[in-house]
Amino acid sequence: MINKEENYPNADGWNLKQLWPTKKLKEENLYLYNIAINKYLSTTEVEVEDYGKMILFGGYSYLSLGNHPKILKSTNECMKQYGTGTDGVRLLAGTTSIHKKLEKKIASFKSTESAITYSSGYVANFTTISSLVGRHDTIISDQLNHASINDGCVFSRATIRRFRHNDMNHLEHRLKQNNKGNVLVIADAVFSMEGDIFNLPVASRLCKKYGALLMIDECHSTGVIGRTGKGIEEHFDLPSDSIDIKMGTLGKAIPSQGGYIASSEELCDILRHRSGGFIYSGANSPLNEAASLAAFEVIEEEPWRVEKLHENTTYAKNILEMANVPLVKSETAILPILCGDDWYAWRLAKHCLDNGIFILAVPYPVVPKGKAILRLSINTDHSKQQIDYLKDVIVDGMKKLNLREKENV
């Protein structure tokens, strides 16, 4: 029994305000996260709780496939055959024929021998990294890699060496060091908060030169870059073996849920028997797998979607830059608007929501202190009129917020 007289630590000693200013944000009507979307009106418009009809510029559905007839039909047919779930984990009673068909399609799409699917992109990164390397090995990681990569690195207990963002000279310096055991180099293909593209040609050459495995997170590149959306290897016109481990998501350009690893048959077999995210996690719903499979087929059958995405991205970037909107340098459909101060970003996001634009702020600690952004994403179905209106709302909001700041000085 606990002695109540003893001086045990308790919640009274915690300063939760230092962790996240939720209370203050709510007091100022600036807590804008977890807002419910009541209905998808189209691939670019949503009905949002308390706000009504809005143009969606804060999502990840780059190719506007969420309501594609082929994907909906495939999902409906799958439900009749398999129901809504499975009977267990993949190694036991959780694998269906649709799981195997999807993995075969992913391997074909990414030009690898095999593929393995997971419940999310986060799980795919975390469990793959922590399964392949251990405390006697070394990980060399880009300093702006996604949190799922960073968490997997820490959990692996390997020696972690970071290289400056996209700095190939610093990467080579790290590769030349006295690294322990097996060496794994990891980077995003497209960096989700910056929108820039990893220098794969040089990184791949360096990894081969120094005998390191190269793992690339393609969550924001598959379906987005490359002439037909095949990703970063196609973007740079590189051979399909330029990356040893290709990781991706089934929840962005692919409008479903889950993540995957595409690699050699040997490596995927190892993951099936060593990665906890596969062994101990319930199998993905066949409905999600069917939607993902159909989406990959649509990308191959309708290459115009990738072309239109590139066209829309170029148009949006040009008009925003001409209007002096401070964009973070980006090469992709992610066009981050640099706000700097967290509170400025939150207020600009509120101005957008009040004017029918759904786009939210990304503050510290997701981005470095003083580098808060509005994370803007373009998709295939955005019209020029919608993009023009977005620009007008952003410019108007910046003008009003800057005037307010001057008044408060």
262 bridge partner residues: 115, 246
- Under DSSP, the state recorded for 11 is G
Tell me which H or E stretch contains 298.
helix 286-301
| CA 279/CA 119 separation, integer angstroms | 11
**Chain position carrying tokens 């993540």:** 259
Instruction: Specify burial of residue 160 (Cβ count, 10 A radius: 0-12, 13-18, 19+).
Output: middle
Cα 82 from chain centre: 29
Separation of alpha carbons 254 and 262, rounded Å: 15
Token pair in block for residue 10: 């308790």
Q: Say whether 398 sits in a helix, a strand or coil.
A: helix
Nearest to 208 by CA among 180, 170, 168, 243: 243
* C-alpha torsion angle, residues 184, 188, 189, 191 (rounded to 10): -160
The torsion of the CA quartet 320, 324, 328, 333, rounded to 10 degrees, works out to: 0
Active site residue: 68, 105, 110, 220, which one?
Answer: 220
- Residue 192 annotated as catalytic: yes
What does the block give as tokens for 296?
């990959």
Active-site entry in 119, 192, 204, 330 = 192
220 is catalytic: yes
Strands (E), 124-202: 138-142, 159-163, 183-188
Supply the DSSP string of 97-144, one letter for each residue.
HHHHHHHHHHHHHTT-SEEEEES-HHHHHHHHHHHH--TTSEEEEETT
Contacts of 202 (CB under 8 A, 6+ apart): 168, 171
Tokens representing residue 2 in the block: 């606990």
CB within 8 A of 30, min separation 6: which ones? 343, 346, 347, 349, 350
Identify the bridge partners of residue 138 per DSSP, sorted by sequence position: 159, 183
Q: Is 273 a catalytic residue?
A: no
Active site residues: 192, 220, 252
